[in-house]
């Protein structure tokens, strides 16, 4: 019991130290609506117009974690991804019915990367580098081609479990959110109202024990450090151990 309480209060100290010292990770786009993500990617078209040479000799770094960067098609997709999502962490997924604007698809048996500009009824509008050695905007990729078994994985940088841990509603999970939960907890144990809406309480209760408490603040801070700062792509299930 003493060890557990010591761990919790160490978390409180970490929250108080980190909040003024470490800026929250923010997307480069004004928000994470698909319209804003698309606009941020299309803004790169002025710098890399149709037909710009962009082959496997071109390397671009990436802020999404998982990979440090990529050559050719991967590098081009990573560059547009950073323009839209800033330093938000990426994660892989394999359910291609969930593809959104800004997601990266690794196609053709792990040989080509594209980034999604628009999701249509039966296709995706994509942008890609190293299309015959050049930049190509606007190719239509049939959904059936993605579903035919030759797609290796998809990458997304939209926050996991939308809303979970995001108390202030800015579409990122940061030390700011941990601070909000900590303040609400202190108010509650001092006999005052927590000062959170029901939606905020639901987002704050990341361990699903029915209350927003000190442990939730600890979990949110850990998620932020591992994903927002270290870019290690650690899911909630690995952070919350019951």
Q: What is the pLDDT of residues 149-198, one digit of tens each?
A: 999 999 999 876 557 898 987 777 888 999 999 999 998 898 888 888 88
Q: What share of the chain in percent tops pLDDT 70?
A: 85
List of domains in the chain: 2-25+160-233 (1.10.1330.10), 34-156 (3.90.1720)
pLDDT classification of 38: cutoffs 50, 70, 90: very high
pLDDT classification of 22: cutoffs 50, 70, 90: very low
The residue among 135, 145, 3, 158 whose CA lies nearest residue 88 is: 158
Average pLDDT of the residues in 29-36: 71
pLDDT exceeds 90 at position 128: yes
| Residues 74, 225: Cα–Cα separation, whole Å | 27
Average pLDDT of the residues in 81-98: 92
Pick the range with the lowest mean pLDDT from 8-22, 51-65, 201-215, 223-237: 8-22
Residue 225 to residues 6, 27, 61, 185, Cα–Cα distance (Å): 19, 17, 21, 21
Mean pLDDT of the chain: 86
Q: What is the reported pLDDT for 21? A: 44
Q: What is the reported pLDDT for 28? A: 39
Q: pTM of the prediction? A: 0.62
Pick the range with the lowest mean pLDDT from 42-51, 69-78, 228-237: 228-237
For 112-120, which contacts have Cβ atoms below 8 Å and span 24 or more sequence positions?
112/73, 113/70, 113/73, 113/74, 113/76, 113/77, 114/73, 114/77, 114/139, 114/141, 115/41, 115/76, 115/77, 115/80, 115/81, 117/38, 117/41, 117/42, 118/38, 119/34
Residues 6+ apart with CB under 8 A from 32: 85, 158, 159, 171
Q: Which helix (H) or strand (E) holds 84?
A: helix 72-85
Read off φ and ψ for residue 35, nearest 5 degrees: -65, -40
Q: What share of the chain in percent tops pLDDT 90?
A: 56
pLDDT exceeds 50 at position 205: yes
Q: What is the reported pLDDT for 121? A: 94
């Amino acid at each position: 019991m003493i060890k557990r309480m010591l761990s919790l209060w160490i978390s409180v100290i970490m929250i108080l130290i980190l909040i003024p010292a470490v800026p929250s990770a923010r997307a480069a786009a004004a928000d994470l609506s698909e319209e804003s993500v698309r606009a941020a990617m299309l803004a790169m078209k002025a710098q890399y117009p149709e037909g710009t040479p962009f082959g496997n000799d071109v390397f671009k770094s990436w802020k999404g974690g998982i990979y440090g960067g990529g050559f050719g098609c991967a590098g081009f997709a990573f560059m547009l991804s950073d323009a839209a999502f800033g330093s938000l962490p990426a994660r892989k997924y394999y359910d291609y019915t969930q593809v959104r604007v800004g997601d990266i698809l690794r196609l053709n048996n792990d040989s080509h990367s594209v980034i999604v500009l628009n999701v249509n009824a039966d296709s995706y509008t994509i942008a890609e580098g190293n299309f015959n050695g050049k930049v190509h905007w606007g190719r239509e990729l049939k959904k059936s081609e993605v579903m035919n078994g030759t797609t290796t994985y998809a990458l997304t940088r939209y926050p996991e479990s939308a809303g979970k841990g995001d108390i202030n509603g800015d579409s990122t999970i940061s030390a700011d959110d941990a601070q909000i939960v900590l303040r609400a907890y202190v108010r509650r144990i001092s006999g005052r109202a927590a000062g959170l809406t029901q939606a905020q309480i639901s987002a704050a209760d990341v361990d699903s024990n029915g209350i927003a408490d000190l442990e939730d603040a600890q979990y949110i801070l850990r998620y932020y450090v591992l994903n927002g700062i270290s870019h290690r792509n650690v899911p909630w299930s690995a952070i919350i151990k019951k």
